[in-house]
Amino acid sequence: MSKPIAGIQMYSLRDEAERDILETLEKVAEMGYKAIESIGYFNAPPNQLKRRADELDLAIPSMLVSLNFKTLAKLGRDFARDIEIAAGIGVSYIIVPWVPMHEQPTMEDMHFLADVLIRCGEQTKAAGMKLALHNHDYEMKLVDGRPAFDRLLELVPEELMVAELDLGWIYMAGHDPVDYLKKHKARTPLVHIRDFKTGRKDTELGKGVVGVERLLQEIEKADVEYMFVEQEDFLTTSLDSAMANILYLKKLGYA
């Protein structure tokens, strides 16, 4: 077992990053985070973002890239540009943050999505990186009795795509995140960790109903490389919430 590296998904600090990404990186490092997950590079050139992160000893192992599912003729070309940017930042994983999902998805839908993910996985592998699929609660809709997310992991070979489990959304979809950590242990190098109040609004770690302390122990057992704090709703400011979350992790010995 080994403790994961504690990072933050930069969507959690999108207001600060849009104002000044390089200054925001400094604040992230000062708080005690050791990594970030990028959602692009805001107004800083990728090489400048990487240089500042290196200076601050912040790892950038992963970057979110939304795929163009509507215009497949442009998919390869568009994704190639994203891969070039990711390579410039030096990431190891390109994360697909969402996939389109019908209200009642079918196996035909799953095969369509899997074909797109396989194509992107092959491009990513050829560039020396790995594709990963992130989940929300809606990717847990049942398809012939099994969650759509599980179906996609079955249809896309592990060598072309790993999982980035969002443990909070798995809980909100009515599943036990621990089961997913155990089931996909060999395929989950990254996780998102977040807490939720009763309802759909997230909150600081330890203040909700997800049971974060229990999850941290299971994350460690699963040998996850990086865990990224993510939060979208704030009582005060995004920076205050980011600080509260890292202090929670430090208190439990995970940062």
Q: Where are the domains of the chain?
A: 5-251
Counting Cα atoms < 13 Å in the Cβ hemisphere of 14 gives 9
Position 198 scores a pLDDT of 87
Q: Nearest Cα to 123, choosing from 87, 150, 71?
A: 87
φ/ψ bin of 208: left (φ > 0), alpha (ψ from -120 to 50), beta (otherwise): beta
Tell me what pLDDT residue 111 has.
98
Evaluate whether 147 touches 175 at the Cβ level (below 8 Å).
Answer: yes
What does the pLDDT read at residue 2?
85
Residues contacting 26, CB < 8 A, separation 6+: 52, 56
In three-state secondary structure terms, 34 is coil
Residue 199's pLDDT is 85
Phi then psi dihedrals of residue 166, to 5 deg: -90, 100
- 230 within 8 A of 12, measured Cβ to Cβ: yes
Digitized pLDDT (tens) for each residue of the chain, 255 residues in all:
789 999 999 999 999 999 999 999 999 999 999 999 999 888 888 999 999 999 999 999 999 999 989 888 999 999 999 999 999 999 999 999 999 999 999 999 999 999 999 999 999 999 999 999 999 999 999 999 999 999 999 999 999 999 999 999 999 999 999 999 999 999 999 999 999 998 899 999 999 999 999 999 999 999 899 999 999 999 999 999 999 999 999 999 999
- Token pair of 107, please? 């196996």
**CB 242, CB 13: distance < 8 Å:** yes
Q: What is the CATH number of domain 5-251?
A: 3.20.20.150
The whole-number pLDDT of residue 186 equals 92
